[in-house]
Amino acid sequence: MVESHATLCEYTTKPRFSGRREMILTMESFQWKDTRVNASADAYHHGSLRRSILDRLEQVIAERGAAGVTIRGLATDVGVSHTAVGHHFGTRTGLLSAFAAEGFDLLSEALLRVRDEGEFLDLGIAYLRFALEHPAHFSVMFEPKLLDYDAHGLREASRRAFSLLQSSSDDFGGDGERESTAAILVAGWGMMHGIAQLALAGVFDEGTLREAMGNADVIDLARRAGRLLEPPTAG
C-alpha cells in the first residue's frame, strides 16, 4: 500500500536535443516543465566566451593567416552562433582590431618588464621576443587595412606601446635633436621588426645565412646588430 503523503511522481525523458524535459504529476493536476538549455544562449552569456573566441582566432591565424578568418567559421569552431561573436566584436574588422589591441597590450607588458633596468637595445630585444612568442598577434598588429583603430581600444593600446619605445630611444644617444631621436627610434624598431619577420618566415633556419650565423641564435644576432646603432664612445 502506498503511503498517502507520496503524491508526487516525476518522469524524465531524454530526447535527442540538449537538456531535458520533465513531466511533474500531482494528484490534483499536472504540468509540463521545460528545462531544455539552449547551448548557444548559455555560451553566449558565459564569461569566457570572448576569451574562447580570441584563443581560437589566434589558432586560425597561426594556421591560415588573417585571410582565413571568418565570423561564421569562428562561431562554428567555438560552438556558438555567429550573432554571439558579433555581440562581442561586431564585424570581422572589429574582431581583428580587438585581437591586435590585445597584441599591443602584451607588447607593452613585455617592454615594461625591461624598461626600468634596461636600455633601448633591451627593449628592442623584448620586442623581438614578443614577436617570436606571439606570431599571430604580430602578423595582424601592423596591418592597418585589416583594422579599425577606433574600435576596442586599439589606438590607445598601440600608442602605449609606441610611447615605451619612444621614451627609451630618447636616452639612447645622438645629438639630442628631435629628428635624430626619431631616426634612432625608426632604425632600432625597423631592425628588430625586420629580424622578427625574417625569423618567422624561416629565413634563419637553413641555407647560406644559417651557415654564416654559426652558433648564434636569432636573439644573439639581433643584439649584435643593435650594438651597431650605438654612438661611438669618445676617445
Considering the domain architecture, whether residues 77 and 99 belong to the same structural domain is answered as no
Domain boundary among 90, 106, 129: 90
Considering the domain architecture, whether residues 103 and 195 belong to the same structural domain is answered as yes
Considering the domain architecture, whether residues 76 and 19 belong to the same structural domain is answered as no
pLDDT tens digits, one per residue of 74-133? 999 999 998 999 899 999 999 999 999 999 999 999 999 998 878 889 999 999 999 999
Q: What local confidence, expressed as pLDDT, does residue 172 receive?
A: 64
Cβ–Cβ under 8 Å, residues 58 and 48: no
Mean pLDDT of the chain: 80
Q: What local confidence, expressed as pLDDT, does residue 133 receive?
A: 97
Enumerate the β-bridge partners of residue 11.
Answer: 23
Residue 234 covered by a domain: no
**110 lies in which domain range?**
91-227
The total number of structural domains in the chain stands at 3
Q: What local confidence, expressed as pLDDT, does residue 180 receive?
A: 74
Q: How far apart are CA 196 and CA 42, in angstroms?
A: 41
Residue 116 belongs to a domain with what CATH number? 1.10.357.10
Q: What local confidence, expressed as pLDDT, does residue 46 receive?
A: 52
Residue 85 belongs to a domain with what CATH number? 1.10.10
Mean pLDDT by 10 residues, the chain (235 residues): 39 40 38 39 62 96 95 94 91 97 98 88 96 98 96 97 86 65 88 96 82 83 88 57
Considering the domain architecture, whether residues 144 and 58 belong to the same structural domain is answered as no
Considering the domain architecture, whether residues 68 and 108 belong to the same structural domain is answered as no
Considering the domain architecture, whether residues 138 and 154 belong to the same structural domain is answered as yes
Q: What local confidence, expressed as pLDDT, does residue 168 receive?
A: 81
Considering the domain architecture, whether residues 211 and 126 belong to the same structural domain is answered as yes
Q: What local confidence, expressed as pLDDT, does residue 8 receive?
A: 33
Residue 164 covered by a domain: yes
List phi, psi (to 5°) of 13. Answer: -105, 155
Residue 3 covered by a domain: no
Residue 29 covered by a domain: yes
Considering the domain architecture, whether residues 214 and 98 belong to the same structural domain is answered as yes
Q: What local confidence, expressed as pLDDT, does residue 229 receive?
A: 80
Q: What local confidence, expressed as pLDDT, does residue 151 receive?
A: 96
Q: What local confidence, expressed as pLDDT, does residue 5 receive?
A: 40
Considering the domain architecture, whether residues 199 and 153 belong to the same structural domain is answered as yes
Q: How far apart are CA 88 and CA 71, in angstroms?
A: 11
Three cell numbers written together for 95:
574582431
Residue 85 covered by a domain: yes
Residue 62 covered by a domain: yes
Considering the domain architecture, whether residues 145 and 190 belong to the same structural domain is answered as yes
Considering the domain architecture, whether residues 204 and 223 belong to the same structural domain is answered as yes
Q: What local confidence, expressed as pLDDT, does residue 86 receive?
A: 87
Considering the domain architecture, whether residues 64 and 152 belong to the same structural domain is answered as no
Q: Which residue has the cell 590585445?
A: 102
Q: How far apart are CA 130 and CA 212, in angstroms?
A: 25
